[in-house]
Chain A
Amino acid sequence: MQLTDIEPGTVGPCPVAPDALQGIKRQQTNPARWNGPNWAAFSAALRSQGIEVRETAAARAAFATDAGGTAYGLAHGVVIARSTEQVALLLKCAQTHRVPVTVSGGGLTTEGESVAFGGVLLDMTGMSRVLAIDAAALTVRTEAGIFWHSLAEELRRQNLDYLSAPLNLTSSVGGTLGVGGIDVNSARLGCSADQALALQVVTPTGDIVECSDTENAELFQRVILGYGQFGVITEATLRVRPYTPLRMHYFYYASLRTAIEDLQLLDRNEASDYSGILTIMDCAVNVLVAFDSLGRETAFIADWRPRLRGYGELGFGLRTLAHYLLRPWKLGEAWYLLQRKRELFPELQRPEYMRDGTMFDRSVVFSRAVWKFWGSRQMVIPDLATSAEKFVEAVERGNAVCRKYFPHYTLYLVGIKLRPEHRAHYEMSCVPPDAEGWAYGCEFEPMMDAGVYSRDTLQSFKNEIYDIGVDMGASYYRFGGMMKGYIRRVFGDAMVDRHLEMKRKADPAMILNRHVIF
C-alpha cells in the first residue's frame, strides 16, 4: 500500500489516521520516520560552525526511547546543547534544511514526545548550570536543561528550595515548564510552569528572545505549557522560597470518593501546605497532608483534623483486618496490601531523611519511592484533568478501567491552584477550560513490575481512560506523542486550528518537535 507523505498538522486521507478513529478501536503507533533529505547538508553546515553532531549508532541508540519505553525511534544525529547561541544556530540551520528537531530534557515523557523519529535530537541536559541565585529577591536564573533535583541541590546550599516540581527528581526545568509539572503543593502554589517569571527562548527560526508576562508576553504565553511547539527554553528565572522541612501526616480511607471529597475540603480552605492522594488499592487510599511550620500543623490539628473521615494507620489497620476476616476469599488482596505496606512505608520514613519527626528531603524521599515502586522499563501513565466538580466521577470511571486491565495499579491525585492572570497560558494545555479556582489531576499508573504487557494492551488501556476525558470534557497532562489523536477531540477543531496557524507562522518548516502535538 502506498502511504502518502502528510504535511504535519494536516488531517491526512488515511482512514485509520488518529483523527479518523471516532468510535472504533484505536491502536496507535509511532510517527513515520523522517526519511532524511538534506541531512548530510544540514550536519555539514552544523559542523562548519563548530557544532558537534554525533552520528554513531551508539550515540543515537542512547536516545532511542523515553521513560515510557513503548515508542522507539532513531535520530539521524545527536547534538548536546551547550549554549543558547549554539541552539539558535542549530534551529536556523534546521529551518533552512527542513530537518526535524526533537528536544529532549530528562527524557521522562511516556508517549514518545522526546523520541526523535529521524532528524536531530537536541539533548538539553548539556545546559545545566545555575546562573544566579538572588536570595533577597527569592529568584533563581538557571539553564533550562537542569534537572529539578540538581537545582534543589544548589538552592539548598543557600537554604532555599524551589516552589513546586514534579515528584520524580529528574525532569528537566525546561521540559516541565513546557507541560505543567505537578507537586503535592500545587493545590496551594499552582503547577511548576506557573513559577516561571521569565524565560530565554530560542524560537523555531533561531531568534533568541527574552519573554515574561510583561516582555514579549505572547511568546511567553505560548511557550509556557506549549509542549515545545513555539520555542526551545534555554534559560528560566523561577521563584524560589526559604527551605523548610516537612511535617507529614497520612490518613487512610477505604473509599476513593470520600478521600477526594476530604482532599478538596482541605484545598478549598488552604488547610494544609501540601496535599495529595496516593492509592495502594482503591480500597486503601492514602491522603497525604503536610506542613511547612508547626503553627500551620497545629491549626490543622485543631480545626480540620476532626472533620476528616480518614483513619490513622492503626485505626485503618484494625478496620482492614476486620474487613478481610469477614471476607476470607479476599485474603490474596489482604496479603498484597500487607506486603505493599511493609515495603513502601519504611521507604517513606528512612531515618537518614528524617530529623526530629520532620521529613528533610521530601523530593528525595518521594522520588526514590516513585522510581523504586512505580518505575519500570515500560511505563504508561494516562491521566485525566478536570474541574473540581467533575473530578470524583472522572476518577471513579478511570479506576474502573484500571481494575479491568491490571491486578495492581496506583492512582496519584492532586489539586492545581489556577492563576486567573495566567488563563492565556492554560489554553490548549492540561488545564481544562471549565476549571475555576482549582483543576484536579489524576494519574492512573499500572504496576508492571511483575509482568510485561503488549503495546496493544497498554494502548487500549490509555484509550479507554482518555475516552472518559472526551466524554466528560476534561483535559490531559500527557496528550502529546502517541496520544495526540485525542487533541482535536478534546479541544475542538477551532482551537487546534488556531494554534496550528500560530505554529505555522512561528515555525514555517514545521521542524520543532513536529510529531508531539500537530
Chain B
Amino acid sequence: MLGPDRNTQARPRNFASCSGCNLCLLVCPVWRRTHDFALTPHGRAKALQHGAAAADLAESIQGCTLCGACEPVCPEEIPLIAMTLDLRRQMPQPAAVQELRTRMEAQAGHEPSPRSGPVRALLPGPALRGRPDTMERAVALLGGTGSIRLADDDGADIALALEAGSTIASRRMEQFLRPLRALKQMVIAEGLLLRHLRPLLPGAALISLGEALSRLDAVRGALRAGDLYVIEPRAYHGDYQRLVRHYDALRAASGCAFNLDLQRIAVPATARSLPQRLGLETIDDGVQLRWIMQGRKVTRIVVEGVEDHAAFEGISALPVVHLADLADDGAS
C-alpha cells in the first residue's frame, strides 16, 4: 500500500461529488422528454464542476420539475432538490414571482385568529380546494371535521415561492407556522411543502394525503388487481426509503399496478417546469402519460394527485378516480 498519496478528507455532498453515474437520467422526466443531457442533474453537476455559473444553466435550472425522482437514486446522496432550489435563488426572479412576494408580504400583516379543535389538520393546497367534493370526502375518510380540521392557511403561496427558489419573509413563515405548531398530525397534499415543513415541525407527524388515505382500510379494500395506482411523486421521493416499503406492501395486498419503474421510482404524470407552474409556458404531459400507460393492461386509474386526475382523463378512456373518491366509486 502506498501511504503518501492518500488524502482522506470527508467527501462533500454537493454537485462537486457527482461521479457521473447517469442514474439520475434514468428517472428524470425532463430527460425523457428532451434527451438533452444539459437539462439533467448530471449535466448541471458536470457544468458546475467545470466552472459554469447558475446563469449559464438557466434553462436547466428552471426546467427541473422538482419531482424528486433523481434524489433517491443518486449514489452520492447529493441533495439534488435543495441544490436546484439554491441555484434558482441565485437567478433573477421572474415578474410573477416578484408579484407573489409582494402578495406574501401583504398577507403577513394579518394575524390569524386563534382556533381550538382537533390536533390534526389537512393542508389541501389549491388543486384539492378546486375540487370541493373530493376534499370533503378526504376529510370524511380521515375521520371527519371532529377529528381533522381543514387548515385555513395551507401555505399555497409558500409552496409556490419555494418552488421558485424565492426567499420567504420570516414574518410570513412565522404566521404560517404558528398555528401548525399546536398540531400533532398534518396531512399535506403538496409534496414540496411537505418536504420543507418536516424539519421545521419536528414534533408533529407529517404525511402526504396519498399515504394517509392509502393506509385506510376503506381505501385499501376498494383497490383491486387491474387498477393502476398513480403515486404523487414529490412526497414519495421525499421519504423514499420508508414509503417504498409502504407501497410495496400495498401492491402485495391489492394486486394493483403502480406508476413505478424498475428502480421503484415513481414516474411523474404531471411534471411541470417552473415556467409552466407560473403559467408562462404551455403544459404538455403527453410524453409522461403515454410512458406510464405503455404496455399496461389496466381497467381503472386511481390517482393520489388532483392534477393527475385531470391529466389522465384527458388521454384515457378508462375511469379515473381520486383516492378519496375510491370508496364511493360505483365500479369498485
**In the bound complex, do residue A69 and residue B26 qualify as a contact, i.e. CB atoms below 8 Å apart?**
no
Chain B's interface: helix, strand, loop or mixed, by majority? loop
Most B C-beta atoms less than 10 A away, residue of A108, A153, A156, A157: A153
Is B20's beta carbon under 8 Å from chain A?
yes
CA distance A204 to B2 in the complex (A): 44
**In the bound complex, do residue A80 and residue B21 qualify as a contact, i.e. CB atoms below 8 Å apart?**
no
**In the bound complex, do residue B20 and residue A407 qualify as a contact, i.e. CB atoms below 8 Å apart?**
no
List chain A residues, Cβ under 8 A from B56: 56-58
Residue of B nearest to A405 (CB): B2
Query: Known contacts A63-B46, A352-B244, A406-B1; is A170 also within 8 Å of B35 by CB?
Result: no
List chain B residues, Cβ under 8 A from A106: 22
CA distance A341 to B20 in the complex (A): 26
List chain B residues, Cβ under 8 A from A241: none
**In the bound complex, do residue B261 and residue A125 qualify as a contact, i.e. CB atoms below 8 Å apart?**
no
CA distance A158 to B294 in the complex (A): 9
Query: Known contacts A56-B56, A157-B294, A457-B5; is A61 also within 8 Å of B21 by CB?
Result: no
Query: Known contacts A61-B51, A170-B26, A453-B6; is A66 also within 8 Å of B244 by CB?
Result: no
CA distance A403 to B2 in the complex (A): 10
List chain A residues, Cβ under 8 A from B25: 125, 147, 170
List chain B residues, Cβ under 8 A from A451: 5-8
**In the bound complex, do residue B26 and residue A80 qualify as a contact, i.e. CB atoms below 8 Å apart?**
no
CA distance A200 to B23 in the complex (A): 27
**In the bound complex, do residue A61 and residue B7 qualify as a contact, i.e. CB atoms below 8 Å apart?**
no
Of A64, A125, A407, the residue contacting B46 (CB under 8 A) is A64
Distance from A245 Cβ to chain B, minimum over Cβ atoms (Å): 12
CA distance A69 to B295 in the complex (A): 39
**In the bound complex, do residue A80 and residue B261 qualify as a contact, i.e. CB atoms below 8 Å apart?**
no
**In the bound complex, do residue B245 and residue A352 qualify as a contact, i.e. CB atoms below 8 Å apart?**
yes
CA distance A364 to B46 in the complex (A): 24
Residue of B nearest to A455 (CB): B5
Most B C-beta atoms less than 10 A away, residue of A66, A368, A371: A371
Of B37, B50, B245, B296, the residue contacting A64 (CB under 8 A) is B50
Is B313's beta carbon under 8 Å from chain A?
no
Query: Known contacts A61-B51, A149-B262; is A80 also within 8 Å of B19 by CB?
Result: no
Query: Known contacts A158-B295, A351-B245; is A152 also within 8 Å of B51 by CB?
Result: no
> Could you mark each residue 289-324 of chain B with 1 if its beta carbon is under 8 Å from any beta carbon of chain A, else 0?
000001110000000000000000000000000000
Chain A: how many interface residues by the 8 Å CB criterion? Answer: 61
Residue of B nearest to A355 (CB): B252
CA distance A66 to B21 in the complex (A): 10
Query: Known contacts A58-B56, A404-B1; is A371 also within 8 Å of B262 by CB?
Result: no
CA distance A154 to B295 in the complex (A): 9
**In the bound complex, do residue B37 and residue A80 qualify as a contact, i.e. CB atoms below 8 Å apart?**
yes
List chain A residues, Cβ under 8 A from B295: 154, 157-158
List chain A residues, Cβ under 8 A from B5: 451, 453-454, 457
**In the bound complex, do residue A371 and residue B75 qualify as a contact, i.e. CB atoms below 8 Å apart?**
yes
List chain A residues, Cβ under 8 A from B9: 452
Distance from B295 Cβ to chain A, minimum over Cβ atoms (Å): 3
CA distance A150 to B38 in the complex (A): 18
Is A372's beta carbon under 8 Å from chain B?
yes
Is B17's beta carbon under 8 Å from chain A?
yes
Is A126's beta carbon under 8 Å from chain B?
yes
Q: Identify which of residues 1-19 in chain A touch chain B, using a CB-to-CB cut-off of 8 Å.
A: none
Distance from B156 Cβ to chain A, minimum over Cβ atoms (Å): 33
Is A128's beta carbon under 8 Å from chain B?
yes
Is B263's beta carbon under 8 Å from chain A?
yes
Residue of B nearest to A63 (CB): B46
> Could you mark each residue 353-387 of chain A with 1 if its beta carbon is under 8 Å from any beta carbon of chain B, else 0?
10000000101100110011001110100000000
List chain A residues, Cβ under 8 A from B75: 368, 371-372, 375
Is B63's beta carbon under 8 Å from chain A?
no
List chain A residues, Cβ under 8 A from B47: 58-59, 61-62
Distance from B169 Cβ to chain A, minimum over Cβ atoms (Å): 32
Distance from B275 Cβ to chain A, minimum over Cβ atoms (Å): 20
Most A C-beta atoms less than 10 A away, residue of B50, B76, B244, B261: B50
Residue of A nearest to B244 (CB): A352
Most A C-beta atoms less than 10 A away, residue of B25, B75, B76, B245: B75
Residue of B nearest to A402 (CB): B1
**In the bound complex, do residue B19 and residue A169 qualify as a contact, i.e. CB atoms below 8 Å apart?**
no
List chain A residues, Cβ under 8 A from B37: 62-63, 80, 123, 125
> Could you mark each residue 401-434 of chain A with 1 if its beta carbon is under 8 Å from any beta carbon of chain B, else 0?
0011111000000000000000000000000000
Is A91's beta carbon under 8 Å from chain B?
no
Residue of B nearest to A81 (CB): B35
List chain B residues, Cβ under 8 A from A318: none
Is B43's beta carbon under 8 Å from chain A?
yes
List chain A residues, Cβ under 8 A from B57: 58
Residue of B nearest to A172 (CB): B22
Distance from A166 Cβ to chain B, minimum over Cβ atoms (Å): 12
CA distance A125 to B7 in the complex (A): 35
Is A67's beta carbon under 8 Å from chain B?
yes
Distance from A74 Cβ to chain B, minimum over Cβ atoms (Å): 8
Is A494's beta carbon under 8 Å from chain B?
no
List chain B residues, Cβ under 8 A from A67: 19-21
Distance from A381 Cβ to chain B, minimum over Cβ atoms (Å): 13
Is A275's beta carbon under 8 Å from chain B?
no
CA distance A361 to B1 in the complex (A): 37
Q: Identify which of residues 16-46 in chain B touch chain A, using a CB-to-CB cut-off of 8 Å.
A: 17-23, 25-26, 35-38, 43, 46
CA distance A375 to B36 in the complex (A): 23
Is A65's beta carbon under 8 Å from chain B?
yes
Distance from A452 Cβ to chain B, minimum over Cβ atoms (Å): 5
Is B248's beta carbon under 8 Å from chain A?
yes
Is B264's beta carbon under 8 Å from chain A?
yes
**In the bound complex, do residue B36 and residue A126 qualify as a contact, i.e. CB atoms below 8 Å apart?**
yes
Query: Known contacts A57-B51, A125-B35, A454-B5; is A156 also within 8 Å of B21 by CB?
Result: no
**In the bound complex, do residue B264 and residue A352 qualify as a contact, i.e. CB atoms below 8 Å apart?**
yes
Distance from B257 Cβ to chain A, minimum over Cβ atoms (Å): 11
Is B52's beta carbon under 8 Å from chain A?
yes
Of A61, A80, A376, A377, the residue contacting B52 (CB under 8 A) is A61
CA distance A130 to B35 in the complex (A): 13
CA distance A457 to B20 in the complex (A): 22
CA distance A67 to B42 in the complex (A): 12
List chain A residues, Cβ under 8 A from B46: 61-65
Residue of B nearest to A452 (CB): B7
Distance from B31 Cβ to chain A, minimum over Cβ atoms (Å): 9
**In the bound complex, do residue A59 and residue B26 qualify as a contact, i.e. CB atoms below 8 Å apart?**
no
Q: Identify which of residues 30-86 in chain A touch chain B, using a CB-to-CB cut-off of 8 Å.
A: 54, 56-59, 61-67, 69, 80
Query: Known contacts A157-B294, A170-B26, A450-B8; is A363 also within 8 Å of B19 by CB?
Result: no
Sorted nearest first, the 5 A-B pairs with minimum C-beta distance are: A157-B295, A61-B50, A170-B22, A58-B52, A58-B56
Interface pairs (6), CB distance under 8 Å = A54-B38, A62-B47, A168-B21, A375-B76, A453-B6, A457-B2
A-side interface residues toward B, CB under 8 Å? 54, 56-59, 61-67, 69, 80, 106-108, 123, 125-128, 145, 147, 149-150, 152-154, 156-158, 168-170, 351-353, 361, 363-364, 367-368, 371-372, 375-377, 379, 403-407, 449-454, 457
Starting from the known contacts A67-B19, A169-B22, 7 additional A-B residue pairs (CB-CB under 8 Å) come to A57-B51, A65-B46, A108-B20, A108-B22, A169-B23, A351-B248, A371-B23
